[in-house]
A and B are shown apart, each in its own frame.
Chain A
Amino acid sequence: ELKVEQNPLFLSMQEGKNYTIYCNYSTTSDRLYWYRQDPGKSLESLFVLLSNGAVKQEGRLMASLDTKARLSTLHITAAVHDLSATYFCAVDMGGGATNKLIFGTGTLLAVQP
Chain B
Amino acid sequence: DAGVTQSPTHLIKTRGQHVTLRCSPISGHKSVSWYQQVLGQGPQFIFQYYEKEERGRGNFPDRFSARQFPNYSSELNVNALLLGDSALYLCASRLPGPYEQYFGPGTRLTVT
Contact = CB atoms under 8 A, between A and B. Distances in A.
Q: Do A and B come from one complex?
A: yes
A101 interface: yes
B42 A97 contact: no
B42 A88 contact: yes
A97 B98 contact: no
B43 A43 contact: yes
Contacts, number: 70
B5 to A, nearest CB: 11
Contacts of B96: 96-97
Contacts of A31: 98
A48 B51 CA distance: 23
B90 interface: yes
A103 B42 contact: yes
Contact of A103 (B43, B51, B97, B100): B43
Given A48-B98, A101-B33, A101-B43, 19 more contacts: A4-B42, A33-B101, A35-B103, A44-B103, A45-B101, A48-B100, A50-B98, A88-B43, A90-B42, A94-B56, A96-B96, A96-B97, A97-B31, A97-B50, A97-B55, A99-B31, A101-B35, A102-B45, A103-B42
